[in-house]
Structure 1
Amino acid sequence: MNTTTEVLEVKVDTARHLEERLNDAVRNLQDVAVRTRKHGILVTRLNPGHYTVSLSDKVPFGITREQSR
């Protein structure tokens, strides 16, 4: 089971905004992760233009992983 302590949802209508908004979400969670030093960041593509960015204890601290569902 993947335990997540914080999740940000990213929805975009254009590819132009995708990288910028995903990077912003990852940076926000990096600030949180540094405080606990227990979670990495998991970026999950749910659908085209719809992603979640979350802290995950299944990803080592300091690492960002991507997955698709």
Structure 2
Amino acid sequence: MGTPPRVTITATTGSEADDKLNASIHQLQSMTQEYPFRGILVTKHGLGHFSVELSDQVPYGETWESVQATALEAAATVSRQER
């Protein structure tokens, strides 16, 4: 079986991100027979940066989303909340 697949995505527009994310999810869905105890985890790492992977933290047959905030994004959120 080896290491479960992971796809890294960079996009400059929302529609480009949607297209690439959908294609990556479909690609990994076709591989789930090889990794029957893993679901799909989509993680946003920052503006226009994503990863899509088969994860044992996600139940088989499900797709979960996660956001990994950077320190800069977290500071901007706090700044907006203080106003």
Give me the whole-angstrom Cα distance separating, in 2, the residues matched to 1:24 and 1:48.
19
Counterpart code for 2:57: K
State the superposition RMSD in angstroms.
1.2
Note the residue ranges of structure 1 that are not aligned, 5 or more in a row. Answer: none
Q: Distance in 1 between matches of 2:5 and 2:34?
A: 13
- C-alpha distance in structure 2 between counterparts of 1:37 and 1:51, whole Å: 23
Shift of 1:14: 1.0
Which portions of structure 1, spanning 4 or more consecutive aligned residues, are displaced by more than 4 angstroms? none
The C-alpha deviation readout for 1:16-36, integer Å capped at 9, x for no partner, is 211111000000000111333
* Per-residue CA distance 1:1-49 (angstroms, 9 max, x = gap): xxx7211001101112111110000000001113332110000000110
In structure 2, the partner of 1:53 is: 52
Please give the TM-score of this superposition, normalised by the length of structure 2: 0.74
Larger Rg: 2
- Percent identity of paired positions between Structure 1 and Structure 2: 33
Q: Structure 2 regions of 5+ residues with no counterpart?
A: 69-83
**Bigger strand fraction:** 1
Give the structure, 1 or 2, with the largest relative contact order (CA under 8 Å, sep 6 or more). 1
TM-score norm. by structure 1 comes to 0.88
**Where does residue 5 of structure 2 map in the other structure?**
6
